[in-house]
Chain A
Amino acid sequence: MAKLVIVTGASRGLGLAICRQLLVAGYEVLALARTLSNELQQLQQHNDKRLHFTAVDLSDLEQLSSLCGTLVKQYGRPYALINNAAVGYDGVLATMHNSEISSLLNINVQAPILLSKYLLRPMLLNQSGRIINISSIIARTGFNGLSVYAASKAALEGFSKSLAREVGKAGITVNCVAPGYMQTDMTNSLQGDKLESVKRRSPLGRLATPDDAAAAVLYLLSEQAASITGTVITVDAGSTA
């Protein structure tokens, strides 16, 4: 029977690339996103038995407990959870609206923590599982205009390390993948000179792609990565070397 992997933010960018690679590798995928994008719908048409979709608004934290209960009842105990969904409002902190700060922290930090809490339970009963949190190189480098986003990603990395210690003896690994700049809808604001400068500074002279980062996720899900927990894999074409 195919292992079930739950992916948040699955409709576009890295989430979509992860879903695509999961299906190729033979996993069953439960894709969560606010809306079903055309790309995800097409992927579903080609893999109708193994790609399920549920519309979810992760900013509604109160419903996450019952949502997880329903998903487990409907699809069975998951093998893995990929916390990929995030928002990346940019702007200087001094003028960022408090509601945006709060909403970013809810979606980028609280939602993955709560999803981990509730989807970890069936993994505990299985005595096996994987949680992969998508961080960013910004968690440890810094970028003008992304201070709150950086805080949220650093929070995820700290969360992952402690959770890895908590659930290791139940055969569950918890890791992060930290991509560098990738050309996705989320990083569209990075254009022109800024984009060229990021590419130029990278040792490989290019940006990492969503497929590069998705491959790291697939590796962490594999049996070969069973001894890797509490760590961060950076996929940034060497930008932070």
Chain B
Amino acid sequence: MLPPILFNLFNGLIDTVKLEQTIRTTLAHVATIANCKLIADITDDTVLLQSGLDSLGFAMLVAQLEEDLGIDPFSQMQIAVYPRTFAEFVTIYRQAQQDGNK
């Protein structure tokens, strides 16, 4: 049996992977609805504005994630934050999810 600290770390890792997968799936879904063509390989360093999704498409991504995850990190934040890369976008959602679980 894993010690609690490792167990929590392992669970945290699984949640992060799940979250990133949800965001990727949602990204592909809204790109189809918004009639946008995503680039073939979206990595952590992909600049969001170069991913193929336009600004209205990103609004749809945030809207769909709000429906699915029940969080809108950008409205919860006290200051305006605009993530530049895919990894930054995922981090904002991970942080909001962790804050919500506290």
Contacts and interface: CB of A to CB of B under 8 A. Distances in A.
Contacts of B70: 69
A73 to B, nearest CB: 8
Interface residues on B, range: 10 to 19
Nearest to B75: A65
Interface residues of A, number: 14
Contact of B66 (A69, A166, A169): A69
Given A65-B75, A121-B63, A121-B66, A127 B56 contact: no
B60 to A, nearest CB: 5
Contacts of A69: 66, 70, 72
Interface of B: 30, 33-34, 56, 59-60, 62-64, 66-67, 70, 72, 75
Nearest to A122: B63
A122 B59 CA distance: 10
Interface in A88-131: 118, 120-122, 124-125, 127
5 contacts: A65-B75, A72-B67, A120-B59, A122-B63, A125-B63
A170 B64 contact: no
Contacts of A170: 34, 56, 60
Contacts of B34: 170
A121 B62 contact: yes
Contacts of B66: 69, 121
Contacts of A226: none
A67 to B, nearest CB: 12
B63 A124 contact: yes
Contact of B33 (A65, A127, A166): A127
B56 A169 contact: yes
B72 A124 contact: no
Contacts of A127: 33
A187 B75 CA distance: 36
A124 B55 CA distance: 12
Contacts of B64: 125
Given A65-B72, A65-B75, A125 B56 contact: no
A169 B62 CA distance: 18
A214 to B, nearest CB: 29
Contacts of B33: 125, 127
A167 interface: yes
A49 to B, nearest CB: 24
Given A121-B66, A166-B56, 20 more contacts: A65-B72, A65-B75, A69-B70, A69-B72, A120-B59, A121-B59, A121-B60, A121-B62, A122-B63, A122-B67, A124-B60, A125-B30, A125-B60, A125-B63, A125-B67, A127-B33, A169-B56, A170-B34, A170-B56, A170-B60
B36 to A, nearest CB: 11
Contacts of A120: 59
A-B pairs, 3 with minimum CB distance: A121-B63, A65-B75, A124-B60
